Structures are given as C-alpha cells and as structure tokens.
C-alpha cells in the first residue's frame, strides 16, 4: 500500500492506496493523481440516511478507501446538513393540492434504555402532475386535533391555499381541524382504519365473516345504496350482535361518503391512507435500525431523510430506488367531480 492525502469537503484525510510491483494497478474509487474527493460527505450522509450506524460507516469506509474515519468526523458531516433540512421543512409549497393524505407511521426506537413506539406523522400531497410530495414530517408524542390544527396552519403559512380532498384516519376532531384552515376541503375518512376500528368490538372467530358483511357498504355504487346497506347491516344478525359497529360508522358517515362520487378505480386510492404506508416502506430499505438506534440519533436521521429521499416521489412512471409507485392509474374516460376555488383549478382525478 501507498499513502496519499486527498482533500474532502470537510478537510484533508490520508488514505492507503493498493499497488502492485509493476505499477499496473489503477484505482477506481479515487484515481491516480487525484487529490480532491468532493463527494465524500455525500457518501457518508447517504449511508447515514440508509440506517447505517457510525461504527458501520467507519467499517465500510475502511473497506472501500482504506481510511479510518472518526465518529466525530461522521457527526460533523451529518450535522452539516441541518441547515439544508431546516430549509426543506420550511420550503414553500404549491398553492393547491388535489389530494393530501394525513397519517402516521410507528417505529420502534430505543429510548432511555427501552424500546418504545414513536409516531412519525406525515402529510403526503399529490400534485396536479400526478407526483407525490411529502409536505412535512412531524415527530409528536401525542396525536390530537390540536396538533393537526397546528400542522394545517403550518401548511397554510408555507403557501398552500387549498386542498381538494384530504384522506385521514378516524381521529376525533381531525376533520374540523382541516376545515378550520381549508374550509373548501372535502374530508374522506380512511375506510381501512374504520374497518380495523370496527374489529375492535369483534371476537377473533367472527372477524372474517364480519369484514365480508361490511363490504356491501363501502363497495356500493353510490352513497344512497351504501346507506341502505348500512341500515341492512344494522338490522342483520351481525348488526344486532355488534351494534357498536353500526354506531361507529354512523358517527363518521359524513366523512365516509365523499369517495362515492368517484369511479371505482379512484375509490381504491381514496378509501385508504395506504399511500403513506407505501412511502414509509423507504424506512425498510433505507433502514431505520430501530432496535439498535437511540431515539436522538433516529430522530436526526428522520430529519436528514426528507430532503434527500422524499422531496419528489413518482406516483407512476419513473420508479425511485426502493420507493413503490403509488397510483397505477391508466387513462380513463370516466369523469370525476372537479371544482375551482379562487384561482386554483383542480384536475379531473381520473385523468391523472
């Protein structure tokens, strides 16, 4: 091995370069006579965002470049992106979004010596050109209407003036928090969440037939048929055995029926917040090492991830690494409701 000094974004480092007796070996990562290595910091940040620990990054760099990088240097490099992350979190948003999903993912994090569940709240917008965009990530211990009202005000302050459709879980007060800031927004509750909550009242052996019985409600051709199906369910043997299910659907019925105005293919998108789950799969392939990673480090990693990985996610068409395409919607002749609020025309969702 020979030794030489290269200049990186954070200073000079000395590396070991393999060589042979004939001098025929030609290094590929850092070429002969190369004295600058400007992409070194980006490689560290990329490994960090993908969930590698400081020790793993150090070992990987030793294998690739034959250098020993101290944990302090890795911390210096990752901390250098905080300004970039702050800018991403406060970046201006589009004036209007045809569709926004609001939900949370839960990750297990080692916090104060114990593994705990932490909620990462996500707002995932779909632009008029059919691309997903993570509008923001919020780390909050307790999810509530006041928290989401603060989120709505933040989105408003960052430039979003209108939302056509907001798909949410069944949190009490959530629709009011949205319409308080975006009064023209139509709120659609997540049917999948509603079904899961319905199963809380049910014994394990009855769950499968009950799910089948409820399909007639959310798969109805329109809102009137759906309400008739709900009434029929309440009068049925299952409805009599578990009256709390019908009552829970009645309480949020105003947020259940909006998606009946859309064709079947679009309903499959609107009846669940699964798009956030698909996007959050990035935490698997980009590796949030929850069980081995302290919360303070994972929290920082989550703040590093957005601007580098989640800014512009394709819904269909181009596939980003490890990120699932969201809406496999072909062109359709079916028309869906559209509206214009102020200067912002919303597109026909079926044509996206």
pLDDT of residue 341: 39
Instruction: Report helix angle 54-65 to 40-49, nearest 10.
Output: 140
Q: Is the pLDDT of residue 210 over 80?
A: yes
Higher pLDDT, 273 or 167: 167
Q: Is the pLDDT of residue 252 over 50?
A: yes
Q: For every residue of the chain, which 3-state class applies, written as one string?
A: CEEEEEEECCEEEEEEECCCCCCCCCCCCCCCCCCECCCHHHHHHHHHHCCCCHHHHHHHHHHHHCCCCCHHHHHHHHHCCHHHHHHHHCCCCCCEEEEEEEEEEEEEEEECCEEEEEEEEEEEEECCCCEEEEEEEEECCCCCHHHHHHHHHHHHHCCCCEEEEEEECCCCCHHHHHHHHCCCCEEEECHHHHHHHHHHHCCHHHHHHHHHHHHHHHCCCCHHHHHHHHHHHHHCHHHHHCHHHHHHHHHCHHHHHHHHHCCHHHHHHHCCCHHHHHHHCHHHHCCCCHHHCEHHHHHHHHHHHHHHHHCCEECCCCCCCCCCCCCCCCCCCCCCCCCEECCEECCCHHHC
Q: Is the pLDDT of residue 249 over 90?
A: yes
The answer to whether the CB of 38 falls within 8 A of the CB of 55 is no
Q: Is the pLDDT of residue 345 over 90?
A: no
pLDDT of residue 1: 67
What CATH number does the domain located at 92-189+274-352 have? 3.30.420.10
The tens digit of pLDDT for each residue in 160-194 reads 999 999 999 877 788 999 999 999 999 999 898 89
Rounded to whole angstroms, the Cα distance separating 106 from 322 reads 19
Report the sign of the C-alpha dihedral through residues 200, 269, 274, 297, in that order.
negative
pTM for the predicted model, two decimal places: 0.69
pLDDT of residue 222: 92
Rounded to whole angstroms, the Cα distance separating 298 from 309 reads 16
- Cβ neighbours, 10 Å, residue 296: 10
Q: What percent of the chain has pLDDT over 70?
A: 65
The answer to whether the CB of 184 falls within 8 A of the CB of 200 is no
pLDDT of residue 250: 95
Least confident window among 196-210, 252-266, 335-349: 335-349
The DSSP bridge pattern shows strands 344-345 and 162-168 to be: unpaired
Least confident window among 6-10, 55-59, 242-246: 6-10
pLDDT of residue 123: 92
Q: Please report, for the chain, the start and end positions of each structural domain, with discontinuous segments joined by +.
A: 2-80, 92-189+274-352, 191-272
pLDDT band with cut points at 50, 70 and 90 for residue 37: low
pLDDT of residue 44: 79
pLDDT band with cut points at 50, 70 and 90 for residue 117: confident
Mean pLDDT (the chain) is: 74
Cα-flanking dihedrals φ and ψ of residue 270, to 5°? -80, -20
The tens digit of pLDDT for each residue in 308-344 reads 334 433 333 322 333 333 333 333 333 344 444 334 4
The answer to whether the CB of 259 falls within 8 A of the CB of 76 is no
The answer to whether the CB of 134 falls within 8 A of the CB of 310 is yes
Q: What percent of the chain has pLDDT over 90?
A: 30
The tens digit of pLDDT for each residue in 50-93 reads 767 788 888 888 777 666 777 777 777 777 777 777 788 889 99
Q: Is the pLDDT of residue 284 over 50?
A: no
């Amino acid at each position: 091995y020979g030794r030489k000094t290269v200049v990186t974004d954070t200073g000079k480092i000395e590396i070991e370069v393999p060589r042979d007796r004939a001098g025929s070996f030609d290094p590929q990562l850092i070429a002969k006579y190369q004295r600058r290595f400007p992409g070194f910091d980006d490689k560290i940040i990329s490994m960090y965002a993908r969930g590698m620990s400081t020790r793993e990054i150090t070992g990987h760099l030793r294998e690739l470049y034959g250098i020993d990088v101290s944990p302090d240097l890795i911390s210096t490099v990752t901390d250098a992106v905080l300004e970039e992350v702050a800018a991403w979190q406060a970046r201006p948003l589009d004036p209007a979004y045809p569709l926004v999903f609001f939900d949370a993912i839960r990750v297990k994090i080692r916090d104060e010596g114990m593994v705990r569940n932490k909620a990462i709240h996500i707002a995932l917008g779909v632009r008029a050109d059919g691309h997903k965009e993570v509008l923001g990530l919020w780390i909050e211990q307790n999810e509530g209407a006041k928290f989401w009202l603060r989120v709505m005000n933040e989105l408003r302050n960052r430039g979003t003036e209108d939302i056509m459709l907001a798909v949410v879980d069944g949190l009490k007060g959530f629709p009011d928090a949205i319409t308080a800031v975006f009064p023209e927004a139509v709120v659609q509750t997540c049917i999948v969440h509603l079904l899961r909550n319905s199963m809380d009242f049910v014994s394990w052996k009855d769950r499968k037939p009950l799910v089948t019985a409820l399909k007639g409600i959310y798969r109805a051709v329109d809102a009137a048929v759906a309400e008739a199906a709900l009434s029929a369910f309440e009068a049925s043997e299952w409805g009599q055995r578990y009256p709390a299910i019908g009552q829970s659907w009645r309480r949020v019925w105003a947020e259940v029926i909006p998606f009946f105005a859309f064709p079947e293919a679009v309903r499959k998108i609107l009846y669940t917040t699964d798009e956030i789950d698909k996007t959050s799969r990035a935490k698997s392939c980009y590796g949030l090492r929850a069980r081995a990673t302290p919360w303070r480090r994972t929290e920082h990693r989550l703040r590093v991830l957005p601007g580098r990985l989640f800014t512009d996610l394709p819904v269909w068409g181009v596939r980003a690494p490890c990120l699932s395409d969201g809406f496999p919607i072909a062109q359709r002749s079916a028309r869906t409701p559209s509206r214009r609020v102020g200067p912002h025309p919303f597109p026909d969702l079926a044509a996206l």
